[in-house]
Amino acid sequence: MASKQPFTDSDIADEAVRATCDDASICKRFATSKGYWTDLYVQYFVRQVGERKAPEINRGYYGRVKGMNLLIDAFLKKTQCDCQVVNLGAGLDTTFWRLKVENIMPKKFFEVDFPMIVARKIHHINTLLCCCVVIVFTVTFHLFNFVSLTDGHSLDSDRYCIIGADLRDFPTLEEKLKKFQINPELPTLFLSECVLVYMTAEQSSKLVHWVADTFPTAMFINYEQVNMNDRFGEIMIENLQRRQCNLAGVDLCQSLDSQKERFLSAGWKSVNALDMMTVYSMLPQEDVARIERLEFLDEKELLQQLLQHYCICWAVKDKLNLGEASILPN
């Protein structure tokens, strides 16, 4: 009987990165339970609300979700949904389900993540689709009449595809996207949220370079850390390192300019970046006022520091002249 191989430092680091999927999902579950925004589906992927999260964490996730959604919806509007979306490192994200409910679906929505995470998500989906009593899922049930479960780490239908792959294993990622019929001629939106930072600068640059070379009309939205060279940033890094979570690409998170340069050097034509303090100030202020009444925030300076250390960067290639470079959250 063969002995089990010992865990390597790389295995431990990958497990720590996978754990951040649960962290983000649990935080979103708690924030939605408090009424920060509506998500009809997160409860089916994260069953327990979990322990209380600090108000600054909830407001930070509110800004993240709303900022990303503004850009996603703007892209879909510009393309009139004649496009495809690829969510890299999607985890238990529910964006696909939101778009379906709001009837702003792209032609196809792809998700990619570690095979272990994908297997969990597919299990949740299969369980829920088999339980017809879950009324909220019946709105999407017809999408899965022709689902092809090729293995435990992938799911495919006409409009929705989940792929188990390591983003650092670039040849396999490219092969699987082609296998599930990604169409380079369609305008394509790539999403990543705190994903590229766990790849080396060389690995993430290779990925964004491939996207720029392969998709003539594309947009890449990246939510990630920024301003990581000050003391607050150092504390963030130290906290993650204590959990064996290495930010391999943190050198590209030093400033908004370094975030933009990753895309400009890879051939993207137009790149913008805003820290989350700026994004937060640009969100519809009536709704911001509403969520700020949900919980008393004692540490306003902490929220400001937190928002100043995350950003949204979006890069555009617009061969079809759809006007994507003009997309701004407003």
Question: Tens place of pLDDT for every residue, the chain, 330 residues?
Answer: 444 444 344 655 677 777 677 889 999 999 999 999 999 999 989 988 878 899 999 999 999 999 999 999 999 999 999 999 999 999 999 999 999 999 999 999 999 999 999 999 988 887 776 554 343 444 444 545 445 565 678 888 889 999 999 999 989 999 999 999 999 999 999 999 999 999 999 999 999 999 999 999 999 999 999 999 999 999 999 998 888 888 999 999 999 999 999 999 999 999 999 999 999 999 999 999 999 999 999 889 999 999 999 999 999 998 778 776 666 544
> Cα(324)–Cα(293) distance, rounded to whole angstroms?
35
Strands 310-318 and 270-275, sheet pairing: antiparallel
Phi-psi region of 288 (alpha: psi -120 to 50; beta: other; left: phi over 0): alpha
User: What's 154's DSSP letter?
Assistant: E
Domains of the chain in start order, with CATH, are 11-326 (3.40.50.150)
**8 A C-beta contact, residue 105 and residue 81:** yes
Sequence-separated contacts (24+) of 299-306 with Cβ below 8 Å: 299/54, 299/56, 302/56, 303/55, 303/56, 303/59, 303/60, 304/277, 305/232, 306/56, 306/57, 306/60, 306/276
Which two structure tokens, joined as six digits, stand for 168? 């650092």
Per the annotation, binding residues are 64, 89, 166-167, 193
Per the annotation, binding residues for S-adenosyl-L-methionine are 64, 89, 166-167, 193
Query: If you count them, how many residues does the chain have?
Result: 330
Which two structure tokens, joined as six digits, stand for 76? 């879909």
What pTM was estimated for this model as a whole?
A: 0.91
> Cα(257)–Cα(253) distance, rounded to whole angstroms?
9
**8 A C-beta contact, residue 147 and residue 141:** no
